[in-house]
Amino acid sequence: MNKIKSSALYIMAIFYLLAGLNHFINPDGYLRLIPEYLPFHYALNFVAGICEVSFGIGLFFPKSRSLASWGIIVMLLAFIPAHVYFIQLNSCVDNGLCLPSWTGWFRLVIIHPLLIYWAYLYTSERYILTKN
């Protein structure tokens, strides 16, 4: 694996590891982003945090890298309702995050697909047993 792709892999791993831990350190911000129509907000936040931490750790190991990458893709797809909900709230959550309204769309249409593509780069079988 070339140095840029290897560095990007570790940056992504740390990103998901820290984001997952943040679900436990600062749950309120995430809980406000879970659409009202979804049940069990605390459980969903907990599961999201566990998944992000697990997938982040999985990226560090060649044998679990492809599976972790696919897990990240599925997880990001599962997060789409939260992004749509944020847009429906005009990018402003009660007692929390308020951003210009275009940012919700930017996150959904630009950032989210880029994150999915980034994870997709490491789904290939050749990265399962590749030594860094």
pLDDT, tens digit (0-9, with 9 covering 90-100), for 14-72: 999 999 999 999 999 899 889 999 999 999 999 999 999 999 999 999 999 999 999 99
CA–CA gap between residue 91 and residue 35 (Å, rounded)? 13
132 in a structural domain: no
49 in a structural domain: yes
CB 119 within 8 A of CB 76: yes
- DSSP 8-state symbol, 111: I
Q: How confident is the model at residue 4 (pLDDT cuts 50, 70, 90)?
A: confident
pLDDT at residue 130 tops 70: no
81 in a structural domain: yes
Q: Which domain holds residue 70?
A: 3-124
Where helices occur in the chain by DSSP H, the ranges are 3-25, 27-31, 41-59, 62-78, 80-88, 102-106, 112-120
CB 8 within 8 A of CB 117: no
Quote the number of domains for the chain.
1
Quote the pTM value: 0.87
Q: What is the pLDDT of residues 64-111, one digit of tens each?
A: 999 999 999 999 999 999 999 989 988 888 777 788 888 889 999 999
Q: What is the pLDDT of residues 109-120, one digit of tens each?
A: 999 999 999 999
Q: How confident is the model at residue 132 (pLDDT cuts 50, 70, 90)?
A: very low
